[in-house]
Amino acid sequence: MAACPAFLFAAPASGQGKTSIVAALARLHARQGRRVCVFKCGPDFIDPMIHRVASGNECEVVDLWMCGVDDVAWRLARAARSADLIIVEGVMGLYDGEPSAADIATRFNLPVLAVIDASAMAATFGAIAFGLARYQPGLPFYGAFANRVGSAGHADMLQPGLPADIPWRGHLLRNADFALPERHLGLVLAEELSDLTTCLDRIADALAATPLAELPPPVTFGEIAAPELPPLLSGKRIAIARDAAFAFVYAANLECLRDLGAELAFFSPLAGDALPDCDAAWLPGGYPELYAERLSNRRDLWFALTKHVDAGKPLLAECGGMMALFETLVDRHGATFSMAGLLPGKVAMQARLAALGHQEAKLPEGCLRGHTFHYSTSETSLSPLVQAQNPKGRGGEAVYRRKRLTASYVHFYFPSNPEAVAELLS
């Protein structure tokens, strides 16, 4: 058994500022020499990048449906063996989603800290905290934290409204310098923010004067061993696109490939890198629409990938990676760019969200779980190999296949079925 101070940050809804606070708190404790491990509830790529910079350690996702209970359990237990503090950031509102952040907190006995945007309320702050704490019986609760508070006087109006058994965990004043910039898929990527650590340090300095500067009580995690994977990809070299256009990669996916025995070779299409010599290739999701002109000019790369596919070698293209493989891409301003042409048809950006949620694809190689989140739509003459489904069995994203090219809007979580991934890429 391993015990480690830990808690889960949640909120009544998205947009309450919990990501900034979690990252800044990780930064605060890391500056004090503590090893901080941050986890993110639910499918997410962008917030974990922020948390990785803040804590200095990889941030992993924990999702009871996509990852599975056993996967979440051993990752938390592994972290507890070496960390001085574990912080889990919830997703959306505390009780949103099936399963929710509250379900994770209850299953692993993680005390919940409610981050509440208090900018337009007084005593109602206490009512919201009371509802979050009591809605699900048995939920471990750590207290309430007020964000975007107008003044010290405003904070004095908030604290008395809390029930006696819900601790006040401090407040953070409203400050434009504490905000992290956003775009259509969420926060701007960490690597694009030259002043990220400066911003996090500002918030961390403010949090140093709150009760959050103290470690929470330890949580006990079971002694769970990592799964042992057969070396099904031993001797295989997998080329992985990795830059601002193809940035959406779960840390667990890379770990899974290595544990299967694969050698990983990273390359940057935006930097002009050639396709490495490889047995298989992977184009993850990202923001190809923001770099469409530069990608359009990478005719050498698209030619190399065409030869790769024509030779019968595997290529996995997820969401943004798939977008880059169509004949044309239309960006949010209506400009059209020629792309790789490995998939017939076009993809076009939309002003509104096109799809969001968990997905499960029953491929010939096996069943893989993941999620979808995109603002573009595609038109193609290809017939889907299979149609993914959401957890309730409703139709989801199409999965296309041409020779050994597999393409879909779905971002797969490789540890959900490592053997299927090995078959897909071998």
- Catalytic positions, please? 319
Amino acid type, 214: E
Task: Report the SS3 class of residue 406.
Answer: strand
CB 74 within 8 Å of CB 52: no
Whether 348 contacts 305, CB under 8 Å: no
Nearest to 244 by CA among 300, 314, 292, 199: 292
| Secondary structure E strands in 180-255 | 182-183, 186-187, 218-221, 237-241
* Structure-block tokens of residue 271: 């930097």
The distance between the two most distant Cα atoms of the chain, rounded to a whole number of Å, is 70
The DSSP output letter for 177 is: G
Query: Could you tell me the CA-to-CA distances from 380 to 156, 290, 388 in Å, in that order?
Result: 59, 22, 17
Rounded CA gap, 360 and 369, in Å?
4
Tokens of 250: 């779960």
The β-bridge partners of 387 are: 398
Which amino acid would we find at residue 215? L
Q: What single-letter DSSP state applies at residue 212?
A: G
The candidate with the shortest Cα–Cα distance to 74, out of 99, 108, 106, is 108
Q: Is 63 exposed, middle or buried (0-12, 13-18, 19+ CB in 10 A)?
A: buried
**Any idea what DSSP says for residue 78?**
H
The strand pairing partners of 30, in sequence order, are none
Q: Which of 55, 70, 60, 56 lies closest to 417, judged by CA?
A: 70
Please work out, in degrees rounded to the nearest 5, the angle formed at the alpha carbon of residue 31 by the alpha carbons of 25 and 37. Answer: 55
Distance, CA of 355 to CA of 411 (rounded, Å):
12
Query: Are 329 and 339 contacting, i.e. CB atoms less than 8 angstroms apart?
Result: yes
Q: Is the distance from CB of 252 to CB of 411 less than 8 angstroms?
A: no
State the Cα–Cα distance between residues 379 and 259, nearest whole angstrom: 37
